[in-house]
Structure 1
Amino acid sequence: MTRRGLLGRLASLLALPAALAACSVATPAPAPGVSGPRRITYGSHPSQFGELTLPAGAVRGVAVVVHGGFWRQSYGLELGRPLAADLANRGLAAWNIEYRRVAAGSAGGPRIDTEDGGWTATFDDVAAAIDLLAAQSLPLDRVVAIGHSAGGQLVGWAAARPGLPAGTPGASPKVRLRGAVAQAGVMDLVDASRQGVGSGAVEDLMGGSPTAVPDRYALASPIARLPIGVPVTCVHGTEDGNVPLRQSQRFTAASGDRLVTIDGADHFALIDPTTDAWRVCRDAADAILA
């Protein structure tokens, strides 16, 4: 890699943490009777857990919240806590999940710890976290997933789990999603890799380029799993500087699913419960559960 390319990659990697810090929002206060969040583990690794928040009164559905951050260890489920609180305040059981993430220094290069995420650990964890809901007293026929950025890719993949070949990561789900809402999701991993989305984050997740490991991309990329069989609504801001609107456009053009563009919204407006952009995402989840 040239010095200019290295500096460009470094600048891109530094930009997202700064933007995340700038968009930090307070978690909404719980409504009367709302519980939790209660931590539940689904494995022995420190990242294999989630936080379940139950609403007051009857549970009208379940929302699985999957945070983003380009699948990297620098970001965690704290990004999903404000959303989970807002969803629980409105009658949904909110299951905000953590998962093993990548700690790679360069695209497709050696990982720092073989127990970190990536293919297949990240996918195994998301599947296991969703399937853990089967052990809870919840309406399993009314489960929707909401994922931001990298989390959008993961919820799109999770929605497609019933169609995965036997024996592959995530196949034969115990809990089937009724649908998903992808908030500025990375919905086409091959295109994202070619376009340099996340400055190598896709290759770090998959352990190589689409040319090197095409079978992995065919299993993991939401656009490659069409037809998914349940609705996947894509919500994307027109001023997103982290994940191009192109990602949602390509997916919905191929799938026939609904695309909602938010004029003037950046990447992070969609995970701020005080914004209209988040309310659009929440309404999309409600529409799937209706």
Structure 2
Amino acid sequence: MSATMAAAEPASLNDYMRQPRHAPDAQVRYGPAPAQVAELFLPKAKGPHPVVILLHGGCFLKQYEGFPQTSAIAADLAGHGYAVWNVEYRKLGEAGADYPGTFLDVAAAIDGLRDQAAKYDLDLKRVVAVGHSAGGHLALWAASRARIPAASPLHAANPLKIGAVVSLAGIGDLDGQGRVFALPCGDDTIARLVDSAHRRDPFADTSPAALLPSGARTVMVHGAFDAVMPPYTGRDYALRARQAGDAAEVVVIPDAAHFDLVIPTTAAWARIVGVIDREMKALAP
């Protein structure tokens, strides 16, 4: 009985951090900084390949790394037939991070897919963004980039269109849910990320909730036992998205917490792959 109970325990931060790293099929630099790089994982089947943009979490903080933890689910998704664009970006504690650097990195990496599409036979009409925790925020934000005000340094004339977002315990409302996120990530993390000390309206171009409707289908996935971003936060954001005209839903996974969502050996991850499959099929012509 004790062995069964132990196996059912939600995954811990240590479980997440200790995952073995998987080698990508290609690594592409989109800028000169060490963190301005993306890894591409490719399926063995012939293309054109639908694309998953993968954005890691870690409180936007340098110490939580990124690639070593997300390469396992990137490799798993490639095994399910997806090209996975696993994005690294400058995090707080690295030169050039915070506003606007972190956001510009994510934008440049995503738009840089256009330069790789022909070489790797990528189908950019079928793109789903998947992000965990802080990366869930960035995935939601990336899908909303077309609504960023023209006066913002984050504005882009022709951002790559993202058809759907699968946010894994992500934060969609930086303003309204900031205190929830602060508990595990630090009281000043979001303030530093959006530079609230020097900007009159720091959430207008950084918070997905301020940029609705995105036009993308949204699925907010949460573990029932997630104390970092509890399920009600996803419900609140999905409600706002639907009120703005987007298609949005919430998936709550029983017996899962924050890190079960990004470890490929968990039952939670198997459920998430099913959600990604469904959303990708909805983008098929």
Q: Which TM class, normalised by the smaller chain length?
A: 0.7 to 0.9
- Residue 13 (structure 2) aligned to one of 17, 20, 26: 20
- The equivalent of 2:90 in structure 1 is 100
Structure 1: 4+ residue segments shifted above 6 A: none
- The equivalent of 1:261 in structure 2 is 252
Give me the whole-angstrom Cα distance separating, in 2, the residues matched to 1:170 and 1:58.
35
SS in 2 for 1:261: strand
- Residue 55 (structure 1) aligned to one of 43, 48, 69: 43
Q: 1:74 to 1:158 in 2, by over 3 A?
A: same
Q: TM-score with structure 2 length normalisation?
A: 0.83
The CA deviation at 1:214 is 5.0
- The equivalent of 1:120 in structure 2 is 100
- The equivalent of 1:66 in structure 2 is 55
SS in 2 for 1:258: strand
The CA deviation at 1:165 is 2.1
Q: What runs of 5+ residues in structure 2 fail to find an aligned partner?
A: 1-10, 243-247
Q: 1:84 to 1:24 in 2, by over 3 A?
A: same
The CA deviation at 1:244 is 2.6
Give me the whole-angstrom Cα distance separating, in 1, the residues matched to 2:259 and 2:205.
28
- The equivalent of 1:15 in structure 2 is none
- Residue 225 (structure 2) aligned to one of 218, 223, 239: 239
**CA RMSD of the aligned region, Å?**
2.1
Q: What runs of 5+ residues in structure 1 fail to find an aligned partner?
A: 1-17, 30-34, 104-112
Aligned residue runs from structure 1 range 1-290, under 5 A: 19-24=12-17, 26-27=19-20, 36-59=24-47, 60-75=49-64, 76-103=66-93, 115-136=95-116, 137=118, 138-168=122-152, 169-195=154-180, 196-197=182-183, 198-200=185-187, 201-208=189-196, 213=199, 215-256=201-242, 257-290=248-281
The CA deviation at 1:26 is 4.2
Letter in 1 for 2:177: A
Give me the whole-angstrom Cα distance separating, in 1, the residues matched to 2:231 and 2:96.
29
Identity of aligned residues (%): 36
SS in 1 for 2:125: coil
SS in 2 for 1:116: coil
Letter in 1 for 2:178: S
Give me the whole-angstrom Cα distance separating, in 2, the residues matched to 1:170 and 1:149.
24
Give me the whole-angstrom Cα distance separating, in 1, the residues matched to 2:12 and 2:196.
27
Q: 1:172 to 1:53 in 2, by over 3 A?
A: same
Task: Kindly provide the CA deviation profile for residues 197-253 of structure 1, in whole angstroms up to 9, marking residues without a partner as x.
Answer: 4222212211237xx745221211111111111111110011112223232111011
